[in-house]
Chains A and B, each alone.
Chain A
Amino acid sequence: MKVDTVQLAREIRRNTLRMVHRAKASHIASALSICDILAVLYGRVMSFDPANPDDPTRDRFILSKGHACVAVYSTLAEIGVISKDQLKTYGEDFSWLMNHISHKVPGVEFSTGALGHGLPFGLGKALAAKTKEESWRTFVVLSDGEMDEGSNWEALMFAAHHRIANLTAIIDYNKLQSLDSVANTLALEPLVAKLAAFGGDAREVDGHDHAQLFDALTRKSDDRPQVIVAHTVKGKGVSFMENRVEWHYKNPNDEQLAVALAELEAINA
């Protein structure tokens, strides 16, 4: 079945906005920037059976930027791993939908929240698949600010040295960190050249272009770990949230939610 990933991404964004609004939570813009990546991964790329999320042959997905968890919870609800009603508990006391991604949620491999943990952990999974001669892949989504963490570069060196080609890192390069732009915080450029110098099969895509994402995520790599630098817009899809640092923290009020949902209807309609 070919999934309409544009429609899927729209639904993920819609759920995401409603969850953050209801919970008065942070990180809406961080979540909106990865919705297209998630839609293409879960909609068309990954081998993943929503009815059997623990199938040992599944492809593994790890969200290293755990603060964008609402986008993943929304995706899992859209494809039927968890129910949409469960999304309403987000942010409530003792909810299993923690405000950083939680492995207690069916379909979630790994809890994160501290940055720089997802890629080494995903590397371990990929190493396990390679050692056991199994064909499933591991995908890790990281933030750009997270590339400040040395652990990611340690993992990339190791993955390149050991030719771990079943590992794909996707860097959500939305150019904004927590206080300021990436460029003004701790410059990453030349990012693609650095990733290649560390041994990654590095390439760039428009992180909101589904055809480009699909091509990059399914293209056969050589024996190097794949690193996809996805150029994205933080807050993508909601004009007043796009490229604004404050939407790393703020949550929309009722009126802003209505405007945001209306804008989503208009995208690629």
Chain B
Amino acid sequence: MRNAFIEELVVAAELHDNIALVVGDLGYGVVEPFATRFPKRFFNAGVAEQNMMGFSAGLASEGFHVFVYSIANFPTFRCAEQIRNDVDYHNLPVTIVAVGGGLAYGNLGYSHHAIQDYALMRVMPNMLIAAPGDPMETRACMTYLLNNPQPSYLRLGKAGEPCLHSSIPVVVPGQWLRINTTDNTACTILTTGASLALARKWIEQREQYADYALHSMPLWGMRHKSNQTGEACKWDRVVVVEDHLVDGGFGSWMMEALSRQPDLLARIQLLGLDSAVCGMVGRQDSLNAAGGLRLE
């Protein structure tokens, strides 16, 4: 995903001289293609995330679309107030890019587990969350963000994720993007972010979900709740899957979106991480399973 991201960014920067990339002293082996070609629009803020986010907002206020790249919780929690006050309140085109979403850095410990990031970012009124499920959705999200510059949070996995789409889809916020084809019109799994691959595997390998439909929602946020009742009402059962704590995550967002129609709420099952995973260390798949993203 991160390779798809930097490729799309370099192409965009060739076309538009207002694209800037700011990094928080991270991105070795990833950001060099941009840094080499556009040195005047590449800034390493050093290990100083508050200033990184603050000056990125300042750059954005002067016409730049700024991509701020770091990993895990560093570009979100460490500078949360700068995101809230400087970026989101002023509605500035800053795209915060975090690599290592979910438990991708499972072995690196709790500091590197981005499993509360949706909860933080989705309470910013202007923030668009972009959580692609594969490299194709990453490219699709980049196209959307470049065409619609705004406060945004691009949550990526790492590298080497499988492509689940055969071509780059067109994505819009709040849309349920159909992934598989099945005759089942009653039951579906709905995911956001890298847990798409996990859900796909369950459908392929587990009898319980064998004929389930599969949807991904790579773009969502506080402003995009309104069409969810219209989508959810088409299904008898929706299993919402995310590699984030159940508390405050994508599933919670969906429940809020449906809260005025209790009959729809009853159709939703949330499948995310339990707080028991906090503090555990291990490979991503081991931790996802330990946190509850598994089939009994």
Contact = CB atoms under 8 A, between A and B. Distances in A.
Interface in B77-107: 81-82, 85-86, 89-90
B115 interface: no
Contact of B58 (A113, A114, A124, A157): A124
A155 B62 contact: no
A112 B85 CA distance: 8
Contact-size category for B: 20 to 34
B55 A158 contact: yes
Nearest to B89: A111
Interface string B59-86: 1111110000000000000000110011
A116 B59 CA distance: 17
A124 B60 contact: yes
Contact of B41 (A113, A123, A129, A131): A131
Contacts of B46: 154, 157-158
A85 to B, nearest CB: 27
Contacts of B265: none
A125 B81 CA distance: 19
Contacts of A19: none
Contacts of B54: 117, 119-121, 123-124, 151, 155
B48 interface: yes
B82 A117 contact: yes
Contacts of A114: 81, 85
Contact of B48 (A119, A121, A158): A158
Contacts of A151: 48, 50-51, 54, 82
Interface in A105-148: 109-114, 116-117, 119-129, 131-132
A124 B46 CA distance: 15
A59 to B, nearest CB: 13
A152 to B, nearest CB: 9
B48 A127 contact: no
B43 interface: yes
Given A155-B51, A155-B54, A117 B62 contact: no
B86 A121 contact: yes
Interface of A: 103, 109-114, 116-117, 119-129, 131-132, 150-151, 154-155, 157-158, 162
26 contacts: A111-B90, A114-B85, A117-B54, A119-B54, A120-B51, A120-B55, A120-B57, A120-B58, A120-B86, A121-B54, A121-B58, A124-B55, A124-B60, A125-B58, A127-B55, A127-B59, A128-B58, A128-B59, A129-B62, A131-B40, A150-B50, A151-B50, A154-B46, A155-B51, A157-B48, A158-B46
